[in-house]
Structure 1
């Protein structure tokens, strides 16, 4: 049986890197993506995956650019021989910008451009490639706890993550006839470097982490590997009866 092939965006660190490692352990050959500035981190991850005996292909691209996403998918298919799982993981927070402050329009455009438009483009071009192949596939997006319960001072981020849930449900209905399932994961507070992008000082970051930790039933932040395990299931053959879902992994922060 030929190896399955997965493409993971935003794979230079955090959840994306954990997903790439996990899928490689599952037997996937992987294409890993991030922005060109993250190339050193991608190359380090490439060495790890190489040591597992899996093929790994690096493709830097800006996922908000349709031409770059189309080229990324086509290059993955050409280099690795196909595409069986797309994990549209890349996303940004864009800072904690109050709705009424100056700069909120710019934050909205930036965050929606990456998170909502970028995920849409990944879904679109992955689906096109999978349909041509004719062997089905798995498309997986990255929503958030903020995509199920709105977050103050993060209207753009919240809206973008709600948008991914809606996109996932819509795409699942369109693509089921091709044997393609479409799902997403919705992490709660996870111990990743993303907190460094919130525009907070050290005291502010600590206060935010403490506050989010206290909201969970398990009393700790989640680990990237705990999200990767959900992506592993959603990318598997055994997940064929699961589609249109956004699965919460939030430590009991709230119940769906």
Structure 2
């Protein structure tokens, strides 16, 4: 177990990709701080982690609020006796033509997807420096952070921003031994993609699952992505085998976008 005894915090871990990441890191030996607005769902994930023989703690937080992100990390350290890995996974999507995006909508998606990542980078790095420990910061970008996609332009912009933050933070914190990387999933069968599919239904008149199936048809490996697929990459980024890797936003999409 490459990260045996480490403490990892995963935002947006009540369901979907975040839950998958939390379970994989626990299976790899880490104790997990689960952070989400949906605190009622976190208890079930915590039980799953404890069933793997690892410790878990839950904390309700809105990642768009800087103070709450700092408080979540303080809680993780106090409850689990350390802090080693930060996974900025929480995020939201939006389906809307760029011409129709409102100031309130663009502010909301940036506050969660970009500001939330920035606060997570700041808070995690500050904690690593205070503890005089090296650490891992891993954030959620997307294939939409490599290619801009029609009707999810605001979302794409946030995920491009995550790549920029990742590169800049990697350079700023390298001397302290803190690595900063991102993972870029494609079409993952989660509640978020259900929401995206419903958004396309509303905007384009597509039938239920039509958009989801259309994008899945473009996956070279021939199947939709699962949270476990994403979690496998995050596990690598969290472990010692990636110690010489920083500033990267790695595609994990089954072969949709090529760089």
TM-score, normalised on structure 2? 0.94
Do 1:14 and 1:192's aligned partners in 2 also have CA atoms closer than 8 Å?
Answer: yes
- 5+ long unaligned stretches in structure 1: none
What is the deviation of 1:2? 7.7
SS at match of 2:36: coil
Deviation track 1:63-99 (CA, whole Å, cap 9, x = no partner) reads: 0001111111111111111210000000000x31111
Q: Distance in 2 between matches of 1:123 and 1:16?
A: 17
Do 2:251 and 2:257's aligned partners in 1 also have CA atoms closer than 8 Å?
Answer: no
Pairing partner for 1:159 from 154, 157, 160: 157
Q: Distance in 2 between matches of 1:148 and 1:186?
A: 8
Q: Distance in 1 between matches of 2:230 and 2:210?
A: 24
Pairing partner for 1:140 from 138, 141, 153: 138
- 5+ long unaligned stretches in structure 2: none
Q: Distance in 2 between matches of 1:131 and 1:230?
A: 25
The aligned residue for residue 233 of structure 1 is 236
CA RMSD of aligned residues (A): 1.5
1:1-256 to structure 2, matched below 5 A, reads 3-35=5-37, 38-93=38-93, 95-101=94-100, 103-198=101-196, 199-200=198-199, 201=201, 204-256=207-259
What is the deviation of 1:106? 2.1
What is the deviation of 1:196? 2.9
What is the deviation of 1:115? 0.1
What is the deviation of 1:213? 0.8
Do 1:97 and 1:104's aligned partners in 2 also have CA atoms closer than 8 Å?
Answer: no
Q: Distance in 2 between matches of 1:27 and 1:176?
A: 25
Q: Distance in 1 between matches of 2:207 and 2:193?
A: 10
SS at match of 1:40: helix
TM-score, normalised on structure 1? 0.95
Do 1:191 and 1:221's aligned partners in 2 also have CA atoms closer than 8 Å?
Answer: yes
* Count of residues in Structure 1 that have an aligned counterpart in Structure 2: 252
What is the deviation of 1:211? 1.1
What is the deviation of 1:148? 0.1
Do 2:4 and 2:28's aligned partners in 1 also have CA atoms closer than 8 Å?
Answer: no
Q: Which runs of 4+ in 1 moved over 6 A?
A: none
Q: Distance in 1 between matches of 2:135 and 2:47?
A: 27
What is the deviation of 1:154? 1.4
Q: Distance in 2 between matches of 1:220 and 1:227?
A: 14
